[in-house]
Amino acid sequence: MLRLLGEVAGFADGKRVDLGPPKQRCVLAVLAVEAGRVVPVERLVDRVWGERAPRRGRETVHSYVSRLRSALSGCGVDLVHRSGGYVLFGQVDLQAFRDLCAKGRADESVAVSAFTEAMALWRGEALTGLDNEWVRAERELLELERAAAEHDLTGARLRAGEGRELVADLYERAGKRPLDEAVHGQYLLALHQAGRTGDALEHYRNFRARLVDELGAEPGAALRDLHQQILTADPRLTATPPTSRVPRQLPAAPTPFIGRLDALRSLDALLDTTDTVVISAVSGTGGMGKTSLALHWAHSHADRFPDGHLFVDLRGFSPAGQPMRAQDALLGFVHALGVAPAEIPDEQEARAALFRTLVSDRRMLLVLDNAADTDQVVPLLPGSRSCTVVVTSRNQLPGLVARFSADHLPLDTLDVTEARALLRARLGAERVEAEQAAAEGLISLCDGFPLALNIIAAQARTRPSLSLATLENELRAGDLDVLDTGEPSASLPAVLSWSLRALTAADRGVFALLGVAPGPSIGLATAASLTAVPEIRRVLQSLEAASLLIRDGHDRYRMHDLVRAYAGNVARELPEHVVDTALRRAIDHYVHTAHASDLHLEPHRERLRFDPPAAGVRPEPIAGYTAAMDWFDAEHACLLAAQQLALAQGWHESVRQLAWATDTYHHRRGHRHARLDVWQAAELSDPLPHAVTQAFLGRAHTVLGNHDEALDHLHRALAMDASAAQTHFMLARAQAARGDDKAALDHAQQALELHRGRGQPAREARAASEVGWYAAQLGEYDMARDHYREALEMFRRQHDPSGVTAALYGLGYVEHHSGEHQEAVGHYREALALCRELGNAHAAADTLTKLGHPLVAIGEREQARGVWEQALLQYQQAGLDNRAADVRRLLDEV
C-alpha cells in the first residue's frame, strides 16, 4: 500500500520502500492524491516546483516516474502513462480512508467500524516529509477531512451509547476548540451518557456564556435542542440498541513495557498486510513475557477494533489445575456479546456456532492467553474474515500453524540494552547507577529473562535495605530461592514447574538430566547416550514444544541458564545412582567419539586402549576427516566441560583420554590455551606422575612460548621413560623454540634412531622430517634435503597428508635457502593446499609466511604481499600477536 496519511511511504510485504528524494516523492504524492485520474505533466511540474520549475521539468518528471515504478514494484501500485500525463492505480491509504468514510456515512450499522478503520489509517500529519506550497494547501484540506471523520466517528459511537468511553477525549477536543458548537455538543452528550448530567448542564451554561461574551451570539438550534433533551432526560439520548453491546475485556497493560520492538513490528505487519483472521501464536518459556507483549500490543491497537475486545486466560499452564475447557471459554464470550445465560446452549459445538454467528463481520480482537494446545484453541476461532486473534502459549502449537496458517512468533530473551532499561525503569536510574557493577552482574545472570529481572527488581523494591550486590551474590551461587517470592505467578521456579506438570514423568526425567549434562548445549546423539532413551528425538521435540529447550539449525539443543539451573534442582530429586550413571554414559560418549574422530585426523597416531563404553552409550559414527573436524568444532565447548566433569567425579582415566583425543584437533585449529588446559587437567587427575601427560604438557607449554616450563615437564617425562622417542621428539621442538638448534638436532636424531627398525614407518618418517628441519636451521642443507626426501617418500607410502605437508614445507625452506627459489615456491604451494584441506589454520599461516620469501626472490613482490596479508589475518584471528608483528614488518619492507 502507498501511504500518504503520515510520512509518504510505500510498503511491500510489510517492509518500507525507499521512494527516493523529496521531489520524487512529491511527484508520487500528487499522483496518489488524484489516484485513478490522469494528471497532466504540466500540473505535476507546477505542483512539485511551483514558480521555480527547472527548464527540463518534463524530462525530470519522466525520470522520477521511471524510478518510482521500480521502487513500487510489489506494493500494489501501478504508474501508467496516459496521453499528456500519468495516472496512478492501486492501493492508497487516502483512497481507502475516503471509501471507508463514505461507507460509514451511508450505513449506520457499520458506521463505528468503518470510521474507526478509516481513522486508523492516519499515522500522523499527512504528507510528512514534504514541504512546498501545494503540499501545505493539500495538507490543510486533508486535515479538514480527518477532523470531519473524527467527528462522524464520535457521533456514531454516541448513537451507540458509548459516551462514557468518550468523555476524556472530548474534554481535550473541546479545550482545543473553545467555540466549536458541534464538538461541545458531543461533549455534553458524552457527559450525560456517562451519568454526569449535572456536569453536562454546567458545561452548557459556561459554553453559552463564552459565546455571548466573545461573539455576542446564542448557541445554535441544534445545541439548544440537545440541552433541552438533557434537561428532560430524553431516553433517546442514552438508549443502546440491544445488539450493540461492545465488550472491552482486555486486562490492564503491564507497565513498564520495555523492548520487544521486533515482535511488535511483526504483529503490526500482520495487521497491516492482511484482511483475514490473523492467528499469531506467541510462544516462549514461562516468564518470557508473552502475555505482557500480547496485552501491550492489544492496547496499542485497541482503536482498530471498534466492535470490541475479548480476552480469556485458558489456564494451559497454571497452578489452578486442569486447563479451561473450550466450552467454558465460549460461555464467557457469548455472554459478553449480549446473550442471556438462559439462551446459551450447553453443547460445545452449538456454543462455537453461536459465537461465530455473533462475531461474523464484526471487527474484533480476541486474545487467547496461556493456551495448552491447538485443540483448546480451535473452537474459539471466529469464522469471519474480520477478526484478529492473538494466541499465547508455552507450546509452539504446530497444529495451529499447519491447519490455519497461523504466524508463529517465538519469544526469546531481552537483549542487554532492553534488560538494562527494564531494571532502570523498575528501580530508578539513581539506585542502578549507585550499584552499577552489581546491577550489570544481575543483568548478566538473568540473561534477558524478563520474569527473573522483574522478580529481582521486586525484591529490591520491597526490601530497600537489601543491596543489589547481595542479590547478585545469591543468584551467582546458583540459589534460585532468590527468584522465589512465595507467590506462584511471581516465582520463577513455580512458573517453570507448571510447564513440567504438562509433561510425562519420563520426559521430566530427561529434562532433569539435560540440566546436569556437561557443556552449554547438547547434540542429539549425546542426549541419547546421556538418557539411554531410544526415542530421544521425540522427547527433545516435546521439551522444545514446551519452550523448555531451544534448538538451533544444527540439531543442537540448549537451555536458558536459569531454566538449566532449575533443571539441575529437579535432577537433585532423582536417585543419586541414576544421575551418576547418566553422566558416566555422557562422558563415555564423548571419550569414544572423540577418539574415533582423532584417528581420522591422525590415522598413524598411537592408539590407546579403551574399556568398552557403558551400557546404553551409542558413540557417533564419524565418516572421514572433514566429518571429524566438524564434530570437534561443534562439540569443543562440551568436550572441555566433559573433561572438567570427569575430573570432579574422579574419573581419572577419562580425563587423560579426553586430553589425548583432543590434542591433534587443538593443534590443527591453533587452540593453544585449550590444549594446555586439558593436559593440566590430566596432570591433576594423575594419582602418580605419568610420562605421557608430562610430555604433552611440555609440548603445550612450548607452543605458548613457556620455555622453562616446557623443558621442566619434558625432562620429567624423559626421566620416567628414557626410551620414549616421542619425548625426544618434543624436546627437540622445545629446544628449538628457545633458540638451541644444535640441541634440537641432537634430540631429533635420538628420536629417529629409537624409531628405526621398530616397524613403525609413520613415526620413523616424522622423526626423519624433524632431523631435516633442524639440520636446515644449522645450514646443513644437503643433510636436511636427504632426510626430507626420505620422510616424504615414507609419508606418501603411508597416505599421511599431515606428514606430507610437513615434508613439503621443509623442502621449500631448504630449496629457498639453497637458492632454488622456484622449486621452493612449488613445494610451499603444495604444502599450503594440503594445510587448507586439513583445516590446519596455524600451519597454513606459517606456510604463507615462508612462501612470501622465495616469491620476493624471483621478483613476484605483489604475490608476496598477497600471501603475507593472508598470513597476517590468520595470525590475528588466532591471537598470535608476535607472529603477526613479524609479518607486519615483512609487509612494510616489501
- What is the CATH number for 612? 1.10.10
Say which residues have a Cβ less than 8 Å from residue 470's Cβ, sequence separation at least 6.
Answer: none
Shared domain for 469 and 375, answered yes or no, is no
Grid cell listed for 10: 510505500
DSSP string for residues in 818-840: TT-HHHHHHHHHHHHHHHHHHT-
Specify the higher pLDDT residue, 879 or 527.
527
User: What pLDDT was estimated at residue 645?
Assistant: 95
User: Quick one: average pLDDT of 676-693?
Assistant: 84
User: What pLDDT was estimated at residue 482?
Assistant: 67
How far apart are the C-alpha atoms of 496 and 228, rounded to whole Å? 62
Q: Which of 460, 490, 520 is the last residue of a domain?
A: 490
How far apart are the C-alpha atoms of 718 and 786, rounded to whole Å? 28
DSSP string for residues in 729-792: HHHHHHHHHTT-HHHHHHHHHHHHHHHTTTT-HHHHHHHHHHHHHHHHHTT-HHHHHHHHHHHH
Q: For residue 170, give the nearest of 187, 153, 154 by alpha carbon.
A: 187
86 beta partners: 39, 81
For the stretch 402-417, pLDDT in tens is 888 778 888 778 888 8
Q: Do the bridges between strand 9-12 and strand 2-3 make them parallel or antiparallel, or are there none, so unpaired? A: antiparallel
DSSP one-letter code for 893: H
Q: Over the chain, what is the mean pLDDT?
A: 86
Work out the percent of the chain whose per-residue pLDDT is above 90: 34
pLDDT value at 541 more than 50: yes
Q: How far is CA 786 from the centre of its chain?
A: 58
Shared domain for 328 and 470, answered yes or no, is no
DSSP string for residues in 587-627: HHHHHHHHHHHHHHH-TTSPPPP-PPPPTT--PPP--SHHH
For the stretch 753-810, pLDDT in tens is 888 877 778 888 988 999 999 999 999 999 999 999 999 999 999 888 989 999 999 9
List the domain range (segments joined by +) for residue 446. Answer: 416-490
From residue 653, alpha-carbon distances to 276, 590, 687 in Å are: 63, 13, 10
Q: Where are the alpha helices (DSSP H) in 521-575?
A: 524-531, 536-545, 561-571
Say which residues have a Cβ less than 8 Å from residue 552's Cβ, sequence separation at least 6.
Answer: 521, 558
Residue 247 lies in a domain: no
User: Would you report the helix, strand and coil content of the chain in percent, each value rounded to 5?
Assistant: 65, 5, 30
Torsion of CA 751, 757, 758, 763, to 10 degrees: 50
**Torsion sign across C-alpha atoms 189, 191, 193, 198:** negative
Specify the higher pLDDT residue, 86 or 283.
86
Q: For residue 181, give the nearest of 222, 152, 148 by alpha carbon.
A: 222
**Which CATH number is 312's domain given?**
3.40.50.300
Residue 872 lies in a domain: yes
Shared domain for 612 and 542, answered yes or no, is yes
Q: Which of 651, 678, 702 is the last residue of a domain?
A: 651
User: What pLDDT was estimated at residue 261?
Assistant: 83
Shared domain for 479 and 519, answered yes or no, is no
Shared domain for 430 and 512, answered yes or no, is no
User: What pLDDT was estimated at residue 240?
Assistant: 47
Shared domain for 438 and 405, answered yes or no, is no
The per-residue b/e assignment along 589-614, b for 16 or more CB within 10 angstroms, e otherwise, is bbbbbbbbbbbbbbebeeeeeeeebb
Residue 139 lies in a domain: no
Shared domain for 375 and 479, answered yes or no, is no
How far apart are the C-alpha atoms of 587 and 617, rounded to whole Å? 9
From residue 346, alpha-carbon distances to 182, 376, 433, 701 in Å are: 48, 17, 59, 79
Shared domain for 451 and 575, answered yes or no, is no
Shared domain for 456 and 545, answered yes or no, is no
pLDDT value at 255 more than 80: no
Q: Which of 651, 674, 703 is the last residue of a domain?
A: 651
Backbone phi, psi, residue 92, to 5°: -130, 130
Q: What is the number of other CB atoms lying within 10 angstroms of the CB of residue 798?
A: 16
Shared domain for 524 and 598, answered yes or no, is yes
How far apart are the C-alpha atoms of 588 and 590, rounded to whole Å? 5
Q: Could you tell me the end-to-end alpha-carbon distance of the chain, in angstroms, rounded to an integer?
A: 58
Please count the structural domains in the chain: 4
Q: What is the number of other CB atoms lying within 10 angstroms of the CB of residue 533?
A: 19
How far apart are the C-alpha atoms of 464 and 887, rounded to whole Å? 58
Shared domain for 468 and 359, answered yes or no, is no
User: What pLDDT was estimated at residue 229?
Assistant: 87
> Which strand ranges, in their side-by-side order, compose the sheet holding 388-393?
309-313, 365-371, 388-393, 278-283, 407-410
User: What pLDDT was estimated at residue 243?
Assistant: 43
Grid cell listed for 155: 457521533
Residue 424 lies in a domain: yes
Q: What is the number of other CB atoms lying within 10 angstroms of the CB of residue 812?
A: 28
**Which CATH number is 721's domain given?**
1.25.40.10
Residue 29 lies in a domain: no
User: What pLDDT was estimated at residue 321?
Assistant: 55
Residue 285 lies in a domain: yes
DSSP string for residues in 11-59: EETTEEE---SHHHHHHHHHHHHTTTS-EEHHHHHHHHHGGG--TTHHH
128 beta partners: 7
562 band by pLDDT with thresholds 50, 70 and 90: confident
Exposed / middle / buried, residue 55 (Cβ in 10 Å: 0-12, 13-18, 19+): exposed
Q: What is the number of other CB atoms lying within 10 angstroms of the CB of residue 258?
A: 22
For the stretch 629-667, pLDDT in tens is 999 999 999 999 999 999 999 999 999 999 999 999 998
pLDDT value at 869 more than 90: yes
How far apart are the C-alpha atoms of 731 and 718, rounded to whole Å? 9
How far apart are the C-alpha atoms of 751 and 726, rounded to whole Å? 7
Read off the pTM: 0.54
Q: For residue 511, give the nearest of 523, 500, 526, 495 by alpha carbon.
A: 500
DSSP one-letter code for 553: T
Exposed / middle / buried, residue 844 (Cβ in 10 Å: 0-12, 13-18, 19+): buried
Shared domain for 730 and 851, answered yes or no, is yes
Q: Identify whether the C-beta of residue 653 lies closer than 8 Å to the C-beta of residue 564.
A: no
Residue 170 lies in a domain: no
Q: How far is CA 142 from the centre of its chain?
A: 41
How far apart are the C-alpha atoms of 604 and 755, rounded to whole Å? 14
Residue 786 lies in a domain: yes
pLDDT value at 472 more than 60: yes
